[in-house]
């Protein structure tokens, strides 16, 4: 089974802190994604990565950055956390072949005070 | 641009009755369509997908979905709902030609409540 893990299930940070969310997948998937999930808005794509050291902005990249130094790991960075970044963050990965579905981690619920 | 609409925020159904969760989409080309389910405090789990071929797609846990190109719909169905089907359901679409990076666009989600 594909396994996607995220470093924390729950995280509480203060405004202005730098926050790191880590995601690791164990199936050698090329593509990895970071979403945020907010009630009524579904999932919105923050950033994605085609492969190691490759990244592309999604729909809502402002206030975020990412890092993909190794194939299995994709990190989301909040440079200076703000209260409007309180949300559920979901990581996903997939094989590059067309039509393949994404596999999701359990999510990190981040609260910024 | 690709988009997905799930017109119902919540669907209530009695256990044993048929369940339908609606999804309509908009893409410029032929779509790839997906359904995911999210149980409380869990990540999303893949249910089924339509890429090409037969318009009726069967997936996990007894779910199926019908691709209707003329109505641009991909409704999720289950003939007999279980209480354990209570969850949040997401429809997603990808335009295989124009969507960069295998990007999926998700609907807002539909909460399903199955009552005993």
Q: Is B111 on the interface with A (CB under 8 A)?
A: no
Average pLDDT over residues A40-48: 91
Buried residues in B4-25 as b, exposed as e (16+ CB within 10 A)? bebebeebebeeeeebebbbbb
Q: Where are the alpha helices (DSSP H) in B56-110?
A: none
Retrieve residue A79's tokens: 């440079």
CA dist., res. A40 & res. B88, Å (int): 11
pLDDT band, very low/low/confident/very high, at B95 (cuts 50, 70, 90): confident
List residues in chain A touching B: CB distance below 8 A. 4, 31, 35, 40-45, 48, 50, 56, 58, 90, 92, 94, 96, 98-107
Backbone angles phi, psi at A83, to 5 degrees: -65, -30
Of the pLDDT bands very low, low, confident and very high (cuts 50, 70, 90), residue A15 is very high
- Chain B interface test: which of A42, A47, A56, A100 (most B C-beta within 10 Å): A42
Q: Nearest by CB to A56, which of B36, B96, B100?
A: B100
pLDDT value for B41: 78
According to the model, what pLDDT value does residue B30 have?
84
- Split at pLDDT 50, 70, 90, the class of B43 is confident
> Worst-scoring range by mean pLDDT, A1-10, B5-14, B28-37, B100-109?
B100-109
Interchain proximity A99–B51, CB inside 8 Å: yes
- Across the A/B interface, how many CB contacts are shorter than 8 Å? 60
> What does the angle CA A23 – CA B95 – CA A37 come to, to the nearest 5 degrees?
40
Residue in chain A closest to B9 (alpha carbons) equals A40
> Are the beta carbons of A38 and B109 closer than 8 angstroms?
no
When computed from its CA atoms, the radius of gyration of chain A, rounded to whole angstroms, is 13
Structure tokens at A94: 């997939």
Distance from CA of B15 to the nearest CA of A (A): 25
């Amino acid at each position: 089974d594909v396994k996607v893990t995220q470093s924390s299930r729950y995280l509480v940070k203060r405004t202005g802190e730098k926050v790191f969310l880590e995601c690791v997948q164990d199936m050698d998937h090329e593509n990895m994604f970071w979403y945020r999930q907010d009630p009524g808005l579904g999932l919105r794509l923050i950033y994605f990565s085609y492969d190691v050291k490759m990244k592309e902005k999604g729909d809502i990249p402002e206030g975020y950055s990412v890092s993909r130094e190794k194939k299995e790991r994709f990190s989301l960075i909040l440079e200076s956390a703000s209260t409007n970044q309180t949300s559920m963050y979901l990581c996903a990965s997939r094989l590059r072949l067309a039509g393949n579905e994404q596999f999701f981690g359990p999510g990190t619920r981040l609260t910024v005070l | 641009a690709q988009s997905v609409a799930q017109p119902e925020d919540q669907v209530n159904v009695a256990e044993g009755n048929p369940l339908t969760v609606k999804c309509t989409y908009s893409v410029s080309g032929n779509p790839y369509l997906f359904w995911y389910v999210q149980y409380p405090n869990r990540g999303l789990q893949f249910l089924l997908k339509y890429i090409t071929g037969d318009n009726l797609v069967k997936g996990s846990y007894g779910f199926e979905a019908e691709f209707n190109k003329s109505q641009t719909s991909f409704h999720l169905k289950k003939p007999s709902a279980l209480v354990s089907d209570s969850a949040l359901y997401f429809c997603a679409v990808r335009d295989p030609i124009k969507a960069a990076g295998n990007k999926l666009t998700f609907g807002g989600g539909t909460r399903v409540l199955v009552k005993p």
